[in-house]
Structure 1
Amino acid sequence: MTWHRVRSAVAIGAVMVLLAWFWSRGEQFLAANGPTFDEPVHLAAGYSYWTTGSFRLNPEHPPLLKLLWAAPLVFGDRPAYPYDVAAATRDDHWHIGTALLFGSGRAPRALLDPARRVNLTLGCCVALVAGWWAYRYWGSRLAGIAACAFATADPNLLALSCVLTTDVGLTLFGLLACYLLWEYAAAPSRGLLIATGVALGLALGAKFSALAIGAGLGAAGFVYALRGGRLALPGTPTGAPPRRAAIEFAFRLGLIALVTLAATYGFVHFDQWGRGLKFQLTRADHGDGMMYLNGELSRTGWYHYFLVLLPLKVPLGLMVAAALGAGALRRSCASGRWEFLLIPPMVFFALASYSRVDLGVRVVLPVVPFLYTLGAGLACAGCCRCAGRGLLAVCLVWSFVSAVRADPHPIAYFNEIAGGPRGGLRYVADSNVDWGQGLPQLKDYLASHGIGAVYLSYFGTDRPEAYGIRFQPLPTYGRVGAPGGETIPADAPRHVLVVSANNLLGVYLNDRDTFKWLRAREPAAVLGGCIYVFDLTGDEDAVRRVRALSAE
């Protein structure tokens, strides 16, 4: 075996080890975290598409990923679809999702975990594409391994790969489209043209914000042409007018993407894509939720939200490597077709900021994998290659430590600048910290401390009673159906109050100051970064306030 093959085998082995590590941490996540806010809806919508043949449910997101998530149910146990609930609620997806996940007679995890593993597979593919692009761009196996390592060590990628959210699918197909166009610019071929168009179409079938990826690709192609590059259909004569050749190429690419997108709707339901896009463009008219930044609430968001958020949520090892890798990028600017690596994420970030849909780091997740590839450039730092590789090793170890510290609750991950989950809550909330995933931790905490019943203000659509949690309900947000619960006697030996992080800040409550009096109080425990436990035993004034809230 030649030395070249040995190095290739070692590189492949290293990548496989990294992916196995990523998957094992994903399994830890599945065991430790309950359903997040939107997961019952997304799973039920996908299952309804397969079962009813209609795409009416949850039209505000395209169907592709929901179809993939529901496939294990369709080709597995096939639980009964709640037609009675759908008829009684006129296809209310919240009630249908709750009925499917909690009323099918099966354990919720038995339905949810197979779907989550589909998304975890997509997360592994993001790491593979980022690593392969780094290998191809920098011409280094070490760079490819490094990019894959940054990806598998990113708590944000892991968290969003383990829940049913459309962001990882968009990230994968968007990154793939950018990479394939980068390859096409160097060596146009019919196969690459079709593959790029299909990847773009799949991105549009994953999430409507893929339009921003399309805009980024267009901007990258424009800058590439200004710098003397050429984008044209395969076989186009070199003497053909560049502008006309580029227009023909863009038309053919868009047509392939459009056909692919229509296929995700089964062609006959393609009109639903336009309806869903209209919904997203008029979110404010539908009373969309509240957003939180630096102690302020807003229904319209902030243009600078993601500028504040990313430095708090992205691992510092990755940020340092990406910043230093930008220096190595200068060496390849003349011939590396850098436009397709830099411009699409910049355009996506700018449009996401302009949209002011400030719901969490997941909105700009498609930007992050470009940092993996950029940071891997430290492996090829020109005349300072030894120093660059030393810095790369430091950044990778730093990222691995961040990953281990975040497990098995990476949703609430914040880096050292923020000071961890409790520090991060000073700046941002919502799905950055609390997505309703914390009830399994609460169940274990109550059992280990011998606490019978609690006063509970839970944010999310999971069911406390499904875990055997006894509770007296307090003002909350997200509960579907009857409030449930019981009344704790006034003379009970223990008075324990449990509040979700979003409710503690009052993000979605009618009165944002409902729990203001608790914010300066030291909790007895913070579970998974998102569940705050306060022991009020012996504090008669606090107990009276809580019981008064329960009576409202």
Structure 2
Amino acid sequence: MAEKIYWKIPALLLFIMFCLMLGASLGDSAIQDELAHIPAGYAYVKFLDYRLNPEHPPLVKAIAGLPLLFLHLNFPTDIKSWTTDVNGQWDQGGAFLYNAGNNPDQIIFWARLPMLLLTIFVGILFYLWTSRRFGRTVATLSLFLFVFSPTFLAHGHYVTTDIGATLGFLIGLWSFINFLENPSWKNTAIAGLCFGIAELLKFSTFLLIPIYIVIYLMHFTVLMDHSWKERALLAARGVSKFVAMGIIGVVVISLVYGFFMLHYPSALQMRDSKFLLSSFGNRTLVNIQHTLASHALTRPLAHYFLGVLMVIQRAAGGNTAYFLGQVSNAGSRSYFPIMYLMKESLGFLILAVVGLMYGIIKICRKYPWGWKRLGYWVKNNFAVFAAGFTVFFYWAYSLKSPLNIGVRHVLPTFPFIYLLVSRQIVSWMHGDGYRAPGGLFEFFRLIYKKYILAIPRYSIVFLLLAFIVFNVVRSYPYFLSYFNALGGGTDYGYRIAVDSNYDWGQDLKRLADYVQSNNIESISLDYFGGGAPAYYLGGKFKPWWSARGPAHGYFAISLTLLEGSVNPATPPFPQTKLEDSYSWLRGHEPIGRGGKSIFIYYLPK
């Protein structure tokens, strides 16, 4: 009976998550990145051609493209964005979705469905691994936090690589820990396979390599019962399998890339590579990429390497974004900590503080002072250390990045944070340090200390979990725009940041619903996103941009564009030119919203 209940709870949680994501997805228009990812994925599986979107690995996009094979779609291959442009992903996406006689909502639905299932699959793996390592109670609480995370509910149903990156770090770390604990050739092969798959999901999983090295060295360092010489010998003996794991990963990458490049002409690949890397600073790396691309056997690795270099190039240049009243492309080291505190549920943040304080106190009490304390703790809690170090290293790297366009970029660390918090909260609720009762008196004493005194702790936790659920239900279906009370709530989070934190173009269909329900005959619109205003608004749509000056009548604008144009720039980033600014909207209050992210005004003549 208990066994069935233990399985029914995670199944119910994941079913709720699927329903919440599906409901939100049906109301969301295409977001900005889907305009590139959906046609790219379809081209991979339909034509085995990788000319589109090389700055992201293929696996997530290809999975999204599989259902589209059964829809008998028109994919234009005779237009400039496909035939002559270099990586003409945006124009190709617009043509494929909205100008080729296809049903864009049908395409978006079927492309997103595998993403929903992939998110549920991540939840299943997360629960199974956590349950095996830390018990079902910790696993259930961790899964609960995963299921009711506004960020996972938002990004778990889009055709983007963020949920793929989360899966990559989960399977990458899980399989590597198994390899360290039992370095058989079977586990070596599994770890190598998982590493290769991770690299095919998002390029940020490249960070697994330094994480692996540190965890590998730490695994042998904390063998406290061995001399340093013995530890060094054990580590050296494992190097061959460690290297073999990497080779297996490279083979997996090469095979998958090679498959999706079967009909991608080598001359076209070389032309694209030269153009896309023409401004890359380190010419040695560029020459290596070009050399790899010039040989048939290494062409797949060259295209993988091209994507890595494109990510490095983009990260170095930053991305123009609005944050805390300023517009900049330089980034801020406070960006991710602030966004994390604003985008996570307050209930979870309280649990995290309690868990952190309890964990520190418990470690200080249990282990003697000095370096040995750390060594013994790591040895006895190696999986916890590995998860914690992954979070630390990933965040340390992210804090230095000027690419500040969304909390989603640290999403792969969320499950590990949920695990670490849940483990401490469960321990705090149960209480520990009490011996088994030796008699009737000690039995009642144990009941009193472990259960009666624990009632307030259980009550606090359940109230906080209920608060988390309440916030998610209240924010439905606007999960992408979710901010907690620290950030002004879902209605006012745009004052902190926009882009994929608040407005990624997801509310165009909701704007169309507003226009229809309010009998608006004509509306000017400046829109940011992957939707097509002319498709959803028809003849009522009047394209607008800031240089056209003040609009009259009904006017709507995406908040990403509004906040980016009316707020001051951080030097040396240039100030917005007057003709590019919507400063003329100051003094006007919106009369409504399309969803949460599109302001609607009525401006009299």
Place the TM-score, normalised by the shorter chain, in its bin: 0.7 to 0.9
Instruction: Identify the residue that residue 74 of structure 2 maps to in structure 1.
Output: 80
TM-superposed CA distance for 1:150, in Å, is 0.8
Q: Which residue of 1 aligns with 2:512?
A: 443
Q: Does 1:157 align with 2:204?
A: no
Q: 1:105 aligns with which of 101, 104, 111?
A: 101
What TM-score results when the alignment is normalised by the length of structure 2? 0.79
Task: Name the aligned partner's letter for residue 84 of structure 1.
Answer: D
Q: 1:24 — aligned with what?
A: 19
Deviation of the 1:87 alpha carbon? 2.1
Distance 1:118 1:476, change over 3 A: farther
Tell me, in whole angstroms, the C-alpha distance in 2 between the residues paired with 1:420 and 1:524.
19
Query: Once superposed, what is the RMSD of the aligned Cα atoms?
Result: 2.8
Query: CA 1:239–1:524 in 2, change beyond 3 Å: closer, same or farther?
Result: closer
2:309 aligns with one of 252, 262, 278: 278
Residues of 1 paired with 2:405 and 2:488: CA distance? Answer: 21
1:17 shift after superposition: 0.7
Q: How far has the Cα of 1:379 moved from its partner?
A: 1.9
Shift in Å at residue 253 of structure 1?
2.1
How many residues are matched? 511
What is the alpha-carbon distance in structure 2 between the residues aligned to residue 127 and residue 284 of structure 1? 29
Q: Is the 8 A contact 2:475 2:490 kept in 1?
A: no
Select the residue among 294, 297, 318 that pairs with 2:348.
318
- Partner amino acid, structure 2, of 1:80: N
Summarize the alignment of residues 522-533 of structure 1 with structure 2, pairs less than 5 Å apart: 522-533=589-600
Equivalent residues of 2:318, 2:330 under 8 A apart: no
1:380 is matched with: 427
Q: How far, CA to CA, are the matches of 2:546 and 2:27 in structure 1? A: 23
**Letter of the 2:541 counterpart:** F
Structure 1 window deviating more from structure 2 (269-278 vs 372-381): it is 372-381
The verdict on how the C-alpha distance between 1:500 and 1:179 changes in structure 2, with shifts beyond 3 A counting, is same
Greater shift in the superposed pair: 201-210 or 314-323:
314-323
Structure 1 range deviating more: 245-254 or 303-312: 245-254
Query: 1:262: which partner in 2?
Result: 254
Match of 2:122 among 118, 123, 126: 126
Q: Give the alignment partner of residue 472 of structure 1, picking from 516, 530, 542.
A: 542
Between 1:21-30 and 1:189-198, the stretch displaced more is: 189-198
C-alpha displacement of 1:246: 4.0
Give the AA of the match of 2:101: G
Matched position secondary structure for 2:528: coil
Q: Is the 8 A contact 1:289 1:299 kept in 2?
A: yes
TM-aligned CA distance change 1:24 to 1:239, over 3 Å: closer
Q: Distance in 2 between matches of 1:424 and 1:67?
A: 33
Per mean C-alpha deviation after superposition, the further-off stretch among 167-176 and 299-308 is 299-308
Q: Which secondary structure state, in structure 1, belongs to the residue aligned with residue 300 of structure 2?
A: coil
1:458–1:476 Cα contact (<8 Å) kept: no
2:236 to 237, 240, 244: 244
Rounded Cα–Cα distance in structure 2 between residues aligned with 1:408 and 1:319? 22
SS at match of 2:555: strand
> Structure 1 residue aligned with 2:381, among 308, 329, 336?
336
Structure 2: give runs of 5+ residues left out of the alignment: 260-298, 367-376, 433-449, 567-574
Deviates more, 1:340-349 or 1:265-274: 265-274
| Percentage of pairs with the same residue | 26
Partner amino acid, structure 2, of 1:443: A
Cα deviation, residue 212, structure 1:
1.6
What residue is the counterpart of 1:369 in the other structure? 415
Deviation at 1:58, TM superposition (A): 1.1
Partner of 2:374: none
Residue 430 of structure 1: how far off its partner (Å): 1.0
Q: Which of the numbers 323, 326, 334 marks the counterpart of 1:304?
A: 334
1:497 matched residue in structure 2:
555
State the distance in 1 between where 2:350 and 2:231 align. Answer: 45
- Given the superposition, is the C-alpha separation of residues 89 and 260 from structure 1 closer, same or farther in structure 2, using an over 3 Å criterion? closer
- CA deviations on 1:236-264 (whole Å, 9 max, x unpaired) are xx888023134234212212221222222
For 2:218, the aligned partner's letter is V
Report the 3-state secondary structure (helix = DSSP H, G, I; strand = E; otherwise coil) of the residue aligned with 1:241. helix
Distance 2:314 2:473 in 1: 37
1:176 positional shift: 1.9
Q: Give the match for residue 466 of structure 2.
A: 397
The equivalent residue for 1:3 is none
Deviations 1:36-85 (A, max 9, x none): 001121111111122332212111111111111111112x1231321112
| 1:89–1:95 contact (8 Å) kept in structure 2 | no
Question: Counterpart of 2:203 in structure 1: which amino acid?
Answer: F
**1:137, 1:336 within 8 Å by CA — same for their partners in 2?**
no
Contact 2:329 2:403 in 1 (8 A): no
Instruction: Kindly state the Cα deviation for residue 162 of structure 1 after the two structures are TM-superposed.
Output: 0.9
Partner AA of 2:590 in structure 1? P
Look up the equivalent residue of 1:379 and give its one-letter code.
V
Cα distance in 2 for residues equivalent to 1:447 and 1:17: 37
- Are the structure 2 counterparts of residues 507 and 361 from structure 1 closer, same or farther at C-alpha, using a change threshold of 3 Å? farther
Residues 335-392 of structure 1 deviation map (CA, whole Å, 9 limit, x = unaligned): 1212211001111111122122111011111111112212222123233673554343
CA contact (8 A) 2:327 2:564 kept: no
CA distance in 2, matches of 1:78, 1:147: 41
CA 1:59–1:510 in 2, change beyond 3 Å: closer, same or farther? farther
Larger Rg: 2
The DSSP-based 3-state class of the residue aligned with 2:101 is coil
Query: How far apart, CA to CA, are the structure 2 residues paired with 1:258 and 1:229?
Result: 34
Where does structure 1 lack aligned partners over 5 or more consecutive residues? 1-5, 231-237, 478-482, 541-552
- Identify which range, 51-60 or 261-270, moves more after superposition: 261-270
Cα displacement (A) at 1:207: 1.3
Letter aligned with residue 355 of structure 2? G
Task: For 1:335, give the aligned amino acid.
Answer: N
Tell me, yes or no, if the aligned pair for 2:556 and 2:598 is still in contact at 8 Å: yes
Instruction: Give the equivalent residue in structure 2 for 1:480.
Output: none
Match of 1:548 in 2: none
SS across alignment from 2:589: coil
Residue in structure 2 matched with residue 408 of structure 1 by the alignment: 477
2:592 counterpart letter in structure 1:
A
| TM-superposition CA deviations, 1:174-205 (whole Å, max 9, x none) | 11221233334434444333222222211211
Structure 2 residue aligned with 1:434, among 503, 514, 525? 503
